[in-house]
Amino acid sequence: MHEGMIAQNLLAIILQHAEEHNAKPTAARISCGKLYAVNDEALCFAFDALAQGTSCEGMQLQIEHKPLQAHCKSCSETFNVDFAKPKCPNCEKGDFELLPDAPLILEEIEFEELPCNDWQKNKTHQE
């Protein structure tokens, strides 16, 4: 399954960041193009299942779907394609080429703040 593979890749990347930050991730924001056809629910479900027992357990995933963009051949305008009205919004012509779909990107990871964490306590004592 498509979403299962994406979830596995995401989890690996997030776990790596979590280790570097020495913190528990609580949420992540990802974005992808419209044609990527990621099913949000399937992806969250696959991620939840894979994250069981790791520091990513219980994390929230936010998925933003980016619109498909096109480049107008008449006036060189780059615009978001509205499939109900496939025209350049600048010159109203229909002569455009579609730009490659946006890839799946991990935009942001949020980490839990741990004020009572041992290493932070030690740090305070030193100050």
User: Which amino acid, 94?
Assistant: G
- Does 70 bind Zn ion (CB under 5 A)? Our answer is no
Instruction: Name every residue whose Cβ is closer than 8 Å to that of residue 57 and which is 6 or more positions away in sequence.
Output: 51
Site string for Zn ion, 88-107 (x = CB under 5 A): x-xx----------------
Of the pair 12, 75, the CB lying nearest Zn ion is at 75
Of 47, 74, 72, 71, the C-alpha closest to 60 is: 47
**Beta-sheet strand order (sheet of 96-98):** 78-80, 69-72, 96-98
- Does 72 bind Zn ion (CB under 5 A)? Our answer is yes
- List the one residue from 8, 39, 74, 78 that touches Zn ion (CB under 5 A): 74
Of the pair 36, 79, the CB lying nearest Zn ion is at 79
Of the pair 50, 81, the CB lying nearest Zn ion is at 81
**CA-to-CA distance for 97 and 87, rounded, in angstroms?**
11
| Binding residues vs Zn ion (CB under 5 A) | 72, 74-75, 77, 88, 90-91
